[in-house]
Structure 1
Amino acid sequence: MTISTLAVLPSSQNSDQKSRDFYRRDLIPLMPEALWKIESGIVRTMTWNQEGNQISLGYWGVGDVIGQPLSRLDPFQVECLTPVRVSLIPPQDWSQELDSILSHIQQAQELHSIVQTQSTDLRLLNFLNWLAKKFGNVTELGLLIDVRLTHLEIADVIGITRVSVTRMMQKLERKGIILRPRRHCIILKSAQ
């Protein structure tokens, strides 16, 4: 996958030349001396191990800060899961984003803690709760997690097989803990 061409809005719609728009599955270009602040959309950060297996490092949304300076991993990529708008933060402005940078560290640690949970059922449920806390919208049925993640992508994050995720999601649905009215959305009932 290569870094896609940057989609820039016409100047009448984009007075801030530091903002850039990307499409779903685009890679956000990384620079050693720049951070990006997410204005809209959702991205994931990832790397690969020596066997070539992809490792998801985190999911980030509005207000989060991402970029190469926050990781020492190589390779390291930021992939858009939805259409995304980001704003460039040059090094001289990083101190103004300290809360966002600290939040990035805290969220990464939360996710790492979830991945270390021994019970795979609990690991999945904790990950769904993490997604609901970060990206959930309150509905009359519960918290709507409207993030397009496949069972394989969920499996990648929590370190189990896709088949196990599918089986456990069906089990959670039978127990009434989640609802899945559409293919990629989940309503987490227990999170209210």
Structure 2
Amino acid sequence: MQQLDRSAGCATPALKQQFVRRARLPEHQAVLWKIESGAVCSMTWTSDGELACLGYWGVGDVVGHALSRVQPYELHCLTNVEISSCPRNEWSQLTDALVHRQQQTEELLSIVHINPLSHRLWQLLVWLSQKFGREVGNGRWLELRLTHQQLAQTLGTSRVAVTTILQRLEAEGKIQRQQRRLIVVQH
């Protein structure tokens, strides 16, 4: 479904597109996409053929193949997503969004270098809950459903290691599971 809308932050009418969960966003070097709703993961593959998450992006974030030199590079919808386009000649109007993107990239990069792995996973959950969560009585409900495999791909580890650490975090009361989602408990 496509429609024209002027709310994208670009001067010309923006083409809005909707994508379902697990879809890939189009590969256009001359267009950046502003996320109007939903969540997207930027991904590549390691030399071993393993998927690697490069970033998580949500409402207001700007994504696009022109923002990366990584090859291969794909943008996968983690939820149903609506994006609006901004052509290359209007990218200067996206300065604030691009600065925010750079800050988020560095935050995630700093997290993936934390040791030990249990601290790295905990910090990723805290970061994700701040970006994609909402306040509930005892913490932040992570509204983004991520599999143990997706978390492992973000941190460069195995699904089994993530599962083991999540079980330990739950036993320690740092996280709670409700309706197949996580609550990051405030301490």
TM-score, normalising length: structure 2: 0.92
- Partner of residue 82, structure 1: 79
The residue identity in structure 2 corresponding to 1:89 is C
Distance 1:175 1:128 in 2: 15
Query: Which one-letter code corresponds to 2:73 in the other structure?
Result: F
Pick from 46, 51, 55 the counterpart of residue 52 of structure 2: 55
Q: Which runs of 5+ in 1 are unaligned?
A: 1-7
Selected match of 2:128 from 128, 131, 135: 131
Q: Percent identity?
A: 42
CA drift of 1:58 comes to: 0.6
- Segments of structure 2 that go 5 or more residues without pairing to the other structure are 6-13
| Residue number in structure 1 paired with 2:9 | none
Report how far residue 190 of structure 1 moved.
Answer: 2.5
Q: Specify which of 38, 44, 69 is matched with residue 41 of structure 1.
A: 38
Kindly indicate which of the two structures has a greater share of residues assigned to strand: 2
In structure 2, C-alpha distance between the alignment counterparts of 1:161 and 1:49, rounded to whole Å: 14
What amino acid is aligned across from residue 87 of structure 2 in structure 1? Answer: P
Total equivalences in the alignment: 179
Map 1:149-168 to 2 at 5 A. 149-168=146-165
The structure 2 residue matched to 1:187, chosen from 166, 171, 183, is 183
What SS does structure 2 have at the residue aligned with 1:18?
strand
CA distance in 2 between counterparts of 1:166 and 1:111 reads 20
Decide which of 107, 117, 122 is 1:110's aligned counterpart. Answer: 107
- Deviation per residue, 1:13-61 (Å, 9 max, x gap): x343600000001100021111000000001000112221111101100
Deviation of residue 74 (structure 1)? 1.2
The RMSD of aligned alpha carbons is 1.2
SS at match of 1:125: helix
- Quote the Cα distance in structure 1 between the aligned partners of 2:46 and 2:169: 31
- How far apart are the structure 2 equivalents of 1:15 and 1:34? 15
Q: CA deviation at 1:91?
A: 1.3
After TM superposition, the structure 1 = structure 2 runs for residues 167-186 of structure 1, keeping only pairs within 5 Å, are 167-183=164-180, 185-186=181-182
Runs of 4+ aligned structure 1 residues displaced above 6 Å come to: none
